[in-house]
């Protein structure tokens, strides 16, 4: 993963620290998460936040092999 040094508003970083601590993420990872959600929302304005969040969780679960094949009937 590429690492870049960027300047961010102190208020954003403080909020990311607070929210990230609840989600067990660093401030940097929380901001990355928000960016990922924001990008997905911008690319899919017709979808709800909950749907986008669930889709990202499902994608992560699939990458970790935590999915099961659905058996119809």
User: pLDDT digits over 51-72, tens only?
Assistant: 999 998 999 999 999 988 889 8
Going through 8-66 in order, the beta strands assigned E by DSSP cover none
Supply angle C-alpha 7, 36, 15, rounded to 5.
50
Residues 6+ apart with CB under 8 A from 16: 27, 28, 30, 31, 34
Residue 1 has pLDDT above 80, yes or no: no
Break the chain into its structural domains and give their ranges: 35-65
CA distance 3 to 68: 34
Non-local CB neighbours of 19 within 8 Å, separated by 6+ positions: 30
Model pLDDT for residues 4-56, shown as the tens digit of each residue: 888 999 999 999 999 999 989 999 999 999 999 999 999 999 999 999 999 98
């Amino acid at each position: 993963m590429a690492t870049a040094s960027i300047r961010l508003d102190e208020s954003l970083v403080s909020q990311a620290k607070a929210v990230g601590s609840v989600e067990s993420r660093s401030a940097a990872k929380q901001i990355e998460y928000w960016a990922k959600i924001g990008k997905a929302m911008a690319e899919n304005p017709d979808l709800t936040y909950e749907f986008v969040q669930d889709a990202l969780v499902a994608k992560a679960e699939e990458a970790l092999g935590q999915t099961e094949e659905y058996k119809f009937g």
